Structure 1
Amino acid sequence: MDLICKYNSQTPTFVEMPKSVCVVQGLKVTMPFQPYPAQLAMMNRILQALNRRANCLIESPTGSGKSLALLCAALAWQRSCEGRSPEEPKHRSLLDCDTFEDPYDEFNLEDFASPPSKKMEFVDTSFSKEMGTQDSVPVYEIEHYSVPRIYFCSRTHRQIAQLIRELRRSCYTDISMTVLASREYTCIHPHVSRLSDKNSECRKLVDGVENEYCSYYRNVKRGENERGRFLDRFYSCLHKKSFSGRVSSAEDLVWDIEDLTNVGHSCGLCPYFLCTDVLYRDAKVIFCPYNYLLDPLIRKSMNISLKGSVIVFDEAHNIEDVCRESISYSLVKEELLAVVAHLQLIAEQSSPELGDAAMVCILHFERLVEWMEKNAIDEEMTLQEPGYYTTVWRGTDVYVMLKAMGLEQSALHCLKNALDVFTGEKSSREDERKYKGEFVQAEMRILVPLEKLVYALIYLYRDKEDVLTSSSSDTYSYCLCLEKRAGTQHARFRGPLAEQSSKSTFKGTHFMESIHFWCMNPALAFKDVSRRARSIILASGTLCPMYTYAAELGVPFPIQLEAMHVLPPERMYVAAVGLGPNGKALRATYQEVDSFGFQDELARALLAICKVVPDGVLCFLPSYRLLEKLVKRWKDTGSLWEQITEQKLVLMEPRKGNELEGVLNKFHKAIAAPSAGNSQCTGALLLAVYRGKVAEGIDFADRQARAVVTVGIPYPNVKDLRIALKRQYNDSRLNDSRKIGKASFISGSQWFEVQAYRALNQALGRCLRHRNDWGALIMLDARSCQQQFRSGLSKWIRSNLRHCSDFNEMENYLSSFVERLQEK
């Protein structure tokens, strides 16, 4: 017998019960090991949210078992729903929470042979249902008794693979699941998988254009006619052919993309249609990148249904940015001209229905191009920098310009009908294959600008209706930007008309003109998801400051948790110091960083830290520009650079992402064998950038990062036009709400501050990755000693933060800390 924890809001108490079974909120949750207190606290909040149909914010540092707690709590709750009777839905209140418990070698495809079934669709057939209307009844108001699906979302496929590895460690591996992934990750066709545009070529083979077909796709469709037998044999094949050598039982249904492609190769099945269609239909748990849910174009093309579901966004600290980006749209003039040229061919050579749709699009695209050319006059635009001009419209002016472009709401209706024809949604059944085939041959990529324009207009006019009927704000959510930028013409936009228009040059320089519909309000995208879902859980190691999410995303998050680190305080040293070794103030502001005094003092500070700290040291800087400027200065002066390089191999995060792997390999080798090239060398120093690849999701455990040094406070670029517009938008919205006595929004300055602290917290979380790790977090900036600075840090960081009066004090504490931990 082992201990089970009955967790309550005050302190955990332990009673003797079976191993790894925790009673949380009255529900048994099985864990693969005795959970940490932080995991119990997380599971308590998660189950509160699911029982109440509420939304939840969870910040829990890396190494605290966040992903496993999310999975086990959610899946235990889902399993408890399976036996729930429709007449007795389970509801709990926070008032109840005072004491909660916080075979076969290959597929024989002939076994499934039968007449072809209905053609698999690529897109949802109900546009209005997918996009919803303002009169839609929210999902949480509908009694929905079927077992809710759970979507686990993360930022990248790499992070999704980590979630699946955690699921394999759990006791819930008998769950039916799928992973939604693009053809980029799943296509195994010998020809298509080598192409850059896999989508268009796949559609050609699925539609049988030129009588060529994809055998992998057809095998999947043949098997579906006896679905039960097909799935039984699929899982048998999965167990035999895959699972990367791990031991698994017959009930183990968990797989990843590598497993799926292995089965695809050995059994002749298309992994893409398996995971996005066949397995998706019965899946109780679905893993996907979070833009699959937040981007309406992807959500529609993948036929994703969110009604009554539970959605968990892991690594959700950037979700506000993703929401804004997902419904912001850009169109390039050359792109539009190339599309017009292709549409003219369709109008001349295709069926009447397709030809009429093409003519509608030609009319509106040509009017849009005409508007762009008329307004892209240098003298009437704002010069942002040499060769870069913009004009921005806000508020009601946006709709005045839409009218000038001929893009009123009536135009939206016409363009939407044309889009339906092109995607086969309104073609007659007998001609559907023929029309879609013709369109594929005329290049499917011309759908992209049409879809972007249609969706931009949908959200623009939805926002207008919201503002006209709102009682809290008169601020419109979109800005319209016309951009003219010097550059070269992109080859993929070239077409007959594009070539004719490329004469727009100035002193031999080609200018590319673009129109941007920039969304400033992430709530527009997030509400599309939240109003369908039962509960949404946002989790990350760095959600702080947390007060902004409700204001920015437009939905309440009544249940929140800021968990402490599983690492004991004695194994971490967290310090803030505003002075360098020579007593000079370190203030990494835009005005100060260019001074040689600041640059040299920072070099002396890094040298002192590198002398004390063994193995790997990470140093985060506000920008690549500053990183390059510092290294140049230090190399030019010689002495300080030579001393630093005697202590550590110094490496820099590259601007190009494809060069990072080589830099990291050198970093790891220098730590594994530090004295290989220099007897005094003790490891490596990696100079990195906030918000860069190193700061976002790379694991630097144990010797890889014994210290993280942060320089400055990483505010967004004040000169960035979109940053300035976002600040103006937030100020305007807040002022509007105050006029009627509501102040539920945040100001532009508050939003600006929050972006800085989230980036800072993300960088600080690169080390201390598990409970037996140890390391130091050192913040170098005079502003880091202010009370306002402390309030923006994650709870576990601010609880352990020591403000040092000078650099000598910090260095002495650091030396004692390192000596004590090295002795253990």
Structure 2
Amino acid sequence: MPEYNIRGVTVNFPYQAYPCQELYMERVIQCLQESVQEKQENTTAICSRNALLESPTGTGKTMCLLCSSYAWLIDYKKKSYGTGPIPKIIFTSRTHSQLTHAIQELKRSAYVPEIVVMGSREQMCVNPDVVSLKGFQQISKCSSLVRSGGCKFHAKFNEMKKSGDLFHHETEDEIEDIEDLLTKGLKHNFCPFFYAREKQKCAEIIFMPYNYLIDPLLRKKVNVDITNSIIIFDEAHNVQKLCAEASSFDFSGINICKAIAEIEKCRSELDKISIDPLENAKSIELKSDCLDISSALLDLDIHLDDMEISEDGYTATGDTIFDIFSYASVHPSTWESFNEKIKSICGFLQLKKQNCSGLERVREAIERIFSDFNASSEIFKNYFKVFIYYSKKQPGVMNTNLSSEHLQLYSDVLSTRDRKKDFRKTKTLSFWCFNPGISMQKLASENPLAFILTSGTLSPMESFAYELGLNFPIRLENPHVVSKDQICVMVAQAGPTGTKLNSSYTNRASETYLKEVGGTLLNLSKIVPDGLLVFFPSYTLMDQCVELWKRSNGGAKSIWESVNQNKTIILEPKESTKLNQSIREYEESITSRKEKTTGACFFAVCRGRVSEGLDFKNRNGRCCMIVGLPFPPLHDLKVKLKRDYLDETAQRIIKENPNAKPMTGSDWYAQESSRAVNQAIGRIIRHRYDYGAVVLCDERFMYQNQRKQLSKWLQPHVKVANQFGEISNGISMFFKNAFQKFGLESEKVKPPTAPAVKKLPRFSLNLTELYRSSNGAELLRPQQRNIYHEDYEEYRNEMGNIQDVPLTEEGIEPQGITSSSLLQHYKTSSVNDPKRSITKQPNIVPARSSSSIPFNASSSSISSSTSSSASNNNNNNTPSITLPSTIDQPPLKRNVVLNSFVNPNSEFLNPQLRNASPITASRNTTSPITTSTKESQQGSTSSKNSAEYLQQVKATLTADQYKEFKNLLIQFREHNSKDSKNTNNTFLHLVKKLVGLFGVSNIEIIEKFKNFISPKLHNSFDEIVKKQILLHADEDTNLKKRKQEHVQLDLVSGAITKKTKTVPLSNTSSKPIVIEDDNTDQTNTPMDHDIPLTLEACSDLTSSTLSAQISMTTNSNNNIHQPHNQGASPSSMQSDKEEPKPAGTVCTICKEACKEPTAAKCGHICCFSCWQQWLNYKLECPTCKAKVRPKLLTRLFF
């Protein structure tokens, strides 16, 4: 797989990149690098190193964008390791279909990031009762089921979330789009909608429609934190329009009528219920709210009705909106309480399964006005307009969208004011924003890292950047990857009869002009193969042309009939529901070539649905005919107000700065036309091997200033024809040559299907760890939250020698690494190799995933005898390394390759481990050593236990403790080789040190060590461990308290009265240990008098022998011990003379002195805030794993 070093970042690309693709990725990485530098210099600065990147459709824009941004993120994680939060990538596009395309592109790459797709209930709900509904009713039904616990999918989601198994079904190489998530939700019976909202907290890339970010109300509902995030707007040519709409609304008087009727429905429902005094008080309060809101909305409705406006409407500055809503007693100081009352009413109506869409519309309008801006600000006056007009349809009484019940309820309320409603005079209140930059600046105020806006058609860029109100110093207008043989662009100044083609507003009514356009179309239909797209400036002009072309000219065929003989004509429907059917008819007409036709012709409108994002590749889009310049409708009020706003703003700017060149209304008007043309042309030539022609049918395209507004990649190909014959000849020759060179569907040049791309190791914590770090940032140190794979850095080297490193199911299995070579490797690689130096980054644990610990090629062939010799030669050399310190966290599911530090020939070493080859092992796949398997299987299992053990040791001990542990093993080996007579003393010394290092709360790790010694020493090991446990446990006074609460020990019979079951201490011990089991009845189980302790049963005995809960308070990582009481005895543990001494207690979670010390029932003490965050993740003690109920936590006061 090709790799590219771009500005110091290694980017893996699935195929050989074209120069324009490398340039595009370079701009993306430049934007991100400079943005990080800016943040480092000023953490509060609004992002100003943003990027506008234009690259034509078919240039691999989406793949470049995803690969370069995620490659930069990986590089950032390595270089900024532990220094701060890691950014997220928020990838947005206009529609879910475009997001699905982006995810499919990501699946084709080598990267496997953690992703999530955000969607609405309409896309993601799997509950049949909710899916069948639409709009507000769907939301209301979902909310009602969630509150009542009636949705089994949400209940399962909650159950998985509380148990910590929310992401248990994730796999290492899985990238899920919405369809995948829906399938998985149905399979596992959980809710994909709420799952996605939870997963976004820990995802590396979040995919969502961009209105989820731009619209402040939607952003609040989605609850995505964009701080320090990389925000990518793909297909961003619509962002300006959406930004303006996000701060605007149209509010019909019918909405007020409906809201008032809904309030009356609420009051009638309240009158029906009989409830207790406490509930009655709530009912009285709700009735009072109903009266307040109903009266206020009625005042607003009457005010709007009484306003005298002309037939053209009433226009005012934006700050007028406050005067209008003041009639409803809604002010900047009261709007929140007003909306809270509406929310209470809606909540009650939802419980009664009643509609409240009218009230919701009122609440939304008020929130849009008052929530984002200061009421005294000049923003409203300068950038907004209020427009009140009569509804266009002039609805009668029966066409108000009000049910008869609601209509009657509203009329009853209106009669209390001695009023009648004339629905024929219903007005609409519009609040329009004309500055798209307001929404973008609001988004930028939440401190994202950078904005990257990209599309195939951003030109002209200057106006685009100006309107968004942000700095975009990094820009790119990329060329296309196609050659000159694949694109033909011609300007038709005149039609076949020589009549000038000009689509100006005054010329459009001319039949001569319309017939000339028809003649041009007829000629093109004869010479263009397959699909011909015709884009009109408006539906009005398209309808005029169709009407005229269908007229018969005497006895001759009409233009419509003549064109239909060559190509089947399909019209873009005005109803969106019929569009898919029209597209299917168009494509079928091309592939079937009905009768004598040569394909199909699709009539569409610039800025319509067809021109925005639809794909007409290969035969479906061989030619694009642009009928005139698609200026916005000149007499449209919104267009007029927009031009006036820009002219006023330009005058104000020039007054302040005479040298400034702001965009005027005329500039905007012209550039909107060019942007629509570029977007329509982008429907054809959709990939590297596609070809097509463009005919610009308007004489104004011959002027240089107009052609400069076209996309940069088009400009070199534009040819102006003086006569129409040049058009016919040029187009004919182009298709003749293209067919000979490329074929009907470019089959002559398309390469064979590329092989599947080998995936890189996932560059992150596993999903559960990411989730935990995102929910409790203080539970993990920064470097722990951002663990990265050292494997990734070596991936290229390993791929080069793949035949020498056989792959296993778990990863790469190196051969011949011994304990000596491993120690020697740590000496050399950690100190001498700067890329792999651990000492350069203190307190960093490289999390390993699917490859081995780094080793040299020469070390892979070391024989066992050589390694044994090397081991003896290095006996006196202590490894000069600094190993990382860690915190006490549940084991990560990471793969490692290791070997025992113990001499392979030691008599203390289990024979099953001698000469065993190392193997890639996973923490969660450890199994006990058995003697019934074949020798090869024993070696494999032993190596896995060895891997499990060393990795757990690393995760438990501090750096100094781990170093002491290693020195202890080396010392043990040296004593064994020098003096075999002292082995018993050495063994006793070793076990004592083990217990001292780990503490009795880590009995699991001490127990596992027995699997690595000879079976003949197991009994001795057990006896020494028992005595050491008793000595250490006696010093913990919390043990006495717990014994009184939880254990009743009969010293005569040796029985414990508790819900218990027994398991052996080890696979060789015959003495049982009592462990807690809530699923059994109370029994008296024999217990060894020498082991007065209680152990909790593990949920998975295959991954660890026992999960021991010693009845005491001990930190599992940085253990805090009182001085050892050598005279302790088992009976002394039952003494109740000493009381706990919590002064100076260290929190077992954050490892610092307790702030607001709080004790669980098991006796362990943590900070109150640490408990809160930990229990959000798992309802158990982080030290002893005992179940913890939040309400039973006890605050301690000293």
TM interval, short-chain normalised? 0.7 to 0.9
Matches within 5 A, 1:205-244: 205-208=145-148, 213-227=150-164, 229-232=165-168, 234-235=169-170
Deviation, structure 1 residue 438: 6.5
Q: In 2 relative to 1, CA 86–75 (structure 1 residues): closer, same or farther, beyond 3 Å?
A: closer
Deviation, structure 1 residue 687: 1.2
Q: In 2 relative to 1, CA 492–564 (structure 1 residues): closer, same or farther, beyond 3 Å?
A: farther
Query: Residue 369 of structure 2 corresponds to which residue in structure 1?
Result: 457
Matches within 5 A, 1:628-647: 628-637=543-552, 638-647=557-566
Q: In 2 relative to 1, CA 438–602 (structure 1 residues): closer, same or farther, beyond 3 Å?
A: closer
Matches within 5 A, 1:194-273: 194-196=132-134, 197-208=137-148, 213-227=150-164, 229-232=165-168, 234-235=169-170, 250-273=171-194
Matches within 5 A, 1:294-333: 294-333=214-253
How many angstroms apart in 2 are the aligned matches of 1:603 and 1:406? 59
Q: Does 1:288 align with 2:187?
A: no
Q: In 2 relative to 1, CA 266–317 (structure 1 residues): closer, same or farther, beyond 3 Å?
A: same
How many angstroms apart in 1 are the aligned matches of 2:428 and 2:710? 39
Render the CA deviation track for 1:148-204: whole Å, top value 9, x for unaligned: 11111111111111111111111112x111111001011111221111221100011
SS in 2 for 1:796: coil
Deviation, structure 1 residue 746: 1.6
SS in 2 for 1:542: coil
Query: Residue 738 of structure 1 corresponds to which residue in structure 2?
Result: 654
Matches within 5 A, 1:95-244: 145-173=84-112, 175-196=113-134, 197-208=137-148, 213-227=150-164, 229-232=165-168, 234-235=169-170
Q: In 2 relative to 1, CA 437–371 (structure 1 residues): closer, same or farther, beyond 3 Å?
A: closer
Query: Residue 650 of structure 1 corresponds to which residue in structure 2?
Result: 569
Deviation, structure 1 residue 401: 4.1
Render the CA deviation track for 1:632-660: whole Å, top value 9, x for unaligned: 21111334333222211122111112222
Deviation, structure 1 residue 337: 2.4
SS in 2 for 1:589: coil
Q: In 2 relative to 1, CA 74–359 (structure 1 residues): closer, same or farther, beyond 3 Å?
A: farther
SS in 2 for 1:592: coil
Deviation, structure 1 residue 339: 1.6
Contact map agreement 1:463 1:476 (CA 8 A) in 2:
no
| Residue of 364, 371, 386 corresponding to 2:303 | 371
Query: Residue 594 of structure 1 corresponds to which residue in structure 2?
Result: 509
Contact map agreement 1:616 1:706 (CA 8 A) in 2:
yes
Deviation, structure 1 residue 531: 2.3
Aligned sequence identity (%):
31
Q: Does 1:666 align with 2:594?
A: no
Q: Does 1:409 align with 2:332?
A: yes
Contact map agreement 2:386 2:429 (CA 8 A) in 1:
no
How many angstroms apart in 1 are the aligned matches of 2:191 and 2:526? 55
Gaps of 5+ in 2: 36-48, 271-281, 742-1198
| Residue of 30, 38, 43 corresponding to 1:48 | 30
Which amino acid in structure 2 is aligned with residue 561 of structure 1?
A: L
How many angstroms apart in 2 are the aligned matches of 1:56 and 1:320? 15
Contact map agreement 1:586 1:602 (CA 8 A) in 2:
yes
How many angstroms apart in 1 are the aligned matches of 2:62 and 2:375? 36
Deviation, structure 1 residue 342: 2.7
Number of paired residues? 699
Deviation, structure 1 residue 352: 5.1
Which amino acid in structure 2 is aligned with residue 194 of structure 1?
A: S
Contact map agreement 1:338 1:496 (CA 8 A) in 2:
no
Q: Does 1:71 align with 2:81?
A: no
Deviation, structure 1 residue 362: 2.9
Query: Residue 526 of structure 1 corresponds to which residue in structure 2?
Result: 440
How many angstroms apart in 2 are the aligned matches of 1:84 and 1:354? 57
How many angstroms apart in 1 are the aligned matches of 2:671 and 2:284? 55
Which amino acid in structure 2 is aligned with residue 516 of structure 1?
A: S
Which amino acid in structure 1 is aligned with residue 12 of structure 2?
A: T
Of 758-767 and 391-400, deviating more is 391-400
How many angstroms apart in 2 are the aligned matches of 1:448 and 1:315? 31
How many angstroms apart in 1 are the aligned matches of 2:11 and 2:363? 44
Of 458-467 and 627-636, deviating more is 458-467
Render the CA deviation track for 1:67-120: whole Å, top value 9, x for unaligned: 0011111111111222233786xxxxxxxxxxxxxxxxxxxxxxxxxxxxxxxx
SS in 2 for 1:778: strand
Contact map agreement 2:498 2:723 (CA 8 A) in 1:
yes
Contact map agreement 2:140 2:350 (CA 8 A) in 1:
no
Query: Residue 686 of structure 1 corresponds to which residue in structure 2?
Result: 602
Deviation, structure 1 residue 482: 4.3
Contact map agreement 2:384 2:431 (CA 8 A) in 1:
no
How many angstroms apart in 2 are the aligned matches of 1:422 and 1:527? 34
Q: In 2 relative to 1, CA 748–290 (structure 1 residues): closer, same or farther, beyond 3 Å?
A: same
Which amino acid in structure 2 is aligned with residue 448 of structure 1?
A: E
Contact map agreement 2:213 2:219 (CA 8 A) in 1:
yes
Which amino acid in structure 1 is aligned with residue 436 of structure 2?
A: P
How many angstroms apart in 2 are the aligned matches of 1:664 and 1:442? 39
Q: Does 1:607 align with 2:522?
A: yes
How many angstroms apart in 2 are the aligned matches of 1:352 and 1:301? 30
Q: In 2 relative to 1, CA 353–525 (structure 1 residues): closer, same or farther, beyond 3 Å?
A: farther
Higher relative contact order (CA 8 A, sep 6+): 1
Contact map agreement 1:479 1:520 (CA 8 A) in 2:
no
How many angstroms apart in 2 are the aligned matches of 1:813 and 1:820? 11
Deviation, structure 1 residue 253: 2.5
SS in 1 for 2:334: helix
Query: Residue 728 of structure 2 corresponds to which residue in structure 1?
Result: 811
Q: In 2 relative to 1, CA 819–37 (structure 1 residues): closer, same or farther, beyond 3 Å?
A: same
Which amino acid in structure 1 is aligned with residue 167 of structure 2?
A: L
Query: Residue 294 of structure 2 corresponds to which residue in structure 1?
Result: 362
| Residue of 12, 24, 31 corresponding to 2:6 | 24
Query: Residue 382 of structure 1 corresponds to which residue in structure 2?
Result: 310
SS in 1 for 2:453: strand
Contact map agreement 1:544 1:793 (CA 8 A) in 2:
yes
How many angstroms apart in 2 are the aligned matches of 1:355 and 1:554? 46
Query: Residue 584 of structure 1 corresponds to which residue in structure 2?
Result: 499
Contact map agreement 2:53 2:455 (CA 8 A) in 1:
yes
Q: In 2 relative to 1, CA 215–400 (structure 1 residues): closer, same or farther, beyond 3 Å?
A: closer
How many angstroms apart in 2 are the aligned matches of 1:524 and 1:358? 35
SS in 1 for 2:532: strand
SS in 1 for 2:377: helix
Q: In 2 relative to 1, CA 356–738 (structure 1 residues): closer, same or farther, beyond 3 Å?
A: farther
How many angstroms apart in 2 are the aligned matches of 1:330 and 1:814? 47
Matches within 5 A, 1:391-470: 391-394=314-317, 397-403=320-326, 406-418=329-341, 441-458=353-370, 461-462=373-374, 464-467=376-379
Deviation, structure 1 residue 456: 2.9
**RMSD of aligned Cα (Å):** 2.4
Render the CA deviation track for 1:764-796: whole Å, top value 9, x for unaligned: 111111111111011000111112211211001
Q: Does 1:624 align with 2:539?
A: yes
Query: Residue 244 of structure 1 corresponds to which residue in structure 2?
Result: none
How many angstroms apart in 2 are the aligned matches of 1:591 and 1:686? 26
Deviation, structure 1 residue 417: 4.6
| Residue of 716, 728, 742 corresponding to 2:632 | 716
Deviation, structure 1 residue 409: 2.0
SS in 2 for 1:269: coil
Q: In 2 relative to 1, CA 464–778 (structure 1 residues): closer, same or farther, beyond 3 Å?
A: farther
Contact map agreement 2:495 2:520 (CA 8 A) in 1:
yes
How many angstroms apart in 2 are the aligned matches of 1:394 and 1:177? 44
Q: In 2 relative to 1, CA 205–639 (structure 1 residues): closer, same or farther, beyond 3 Å?
A: closer
